[in-house]
Amino acid sequence: LAKTTQPISMDSYEGQEVNITCSHNNIATNDYITWYQQFPSQGPRFIIQGYKTKVTNEVASLFIPADRKSSTLSLPRVSLSDTAVYYCLVSYMEYGNKLVFGAGTILRVKS
C-alpha cells in the first residue's frame, strides 16, 4: 500500500479556500486517491475520489498532477462546520481489500 503524508494540522478562517496537499510518492498505476472527512465521534465520510487531473463535486475539488505523486484537496469557502479531520487514502480496486487510514489533517476553521 502506498504511504501517504499530509500535514498534521491546518488553520483557516471562514470564507477562505483551503487546500490540503497529500504526498504519495509510491502510488501504483492502479491506485486511486480518495479523501474522507471525520467529525469527532462520527464515522469517516467520503468526500471525493480521483485518478488523475481534476475532479469536482458539490463539496470539494481534487487536483492530481500528471505524475500522481501528490494530490490536493480543495475546499472552497470553508465554514466553521468544516472543522474536522481530513484523510487522504491511496488504494486500488481489489476484492475485499482494506482501506488504510493515516493520521489525517486536523482542519480548524475559525470565525
Partner 1 sequence: EPEVTQTPSHQVTQMGQEVILRCVPISNHLYFYWYRQILGQKVEFLVSFYNNEISEKSEIFDDQFSVERPDGSNFTLKIRSTKLEDSAMYFCASSARPGQGGTGELFFGEGSRLTVL
Q: Write the CB contacts of 58 (distance below 8 Å, at least 6 apart in sequence).
A: none
Sole binder of partner 1 in the list 4, 6, 12, 91 (CB under 8 A): 91
> CA-to-CA distance for 9 and 26, rounded, in angstroms?
23
Sole binder of partner 1 in the list 4, 44, 68, 107 (CB under 8 A): 44
93 binds partner 1 (CB under 8 A): yes
> CA-to-CA distance for 46 and 20, rounded, in angstroms?
16
The distance of closest approach from Cβ of residue 24 to partner 1 in the complex, given in angstroms and rounded to an integer, is 14
Secondary structure class of 56 (helix, strand, coil): strand
Provide the binding-site residues for partner 1, judged by CB under 8 A.
Answer: 30-32, 34, 38, 41-46, 49, 51, 87, 91-104
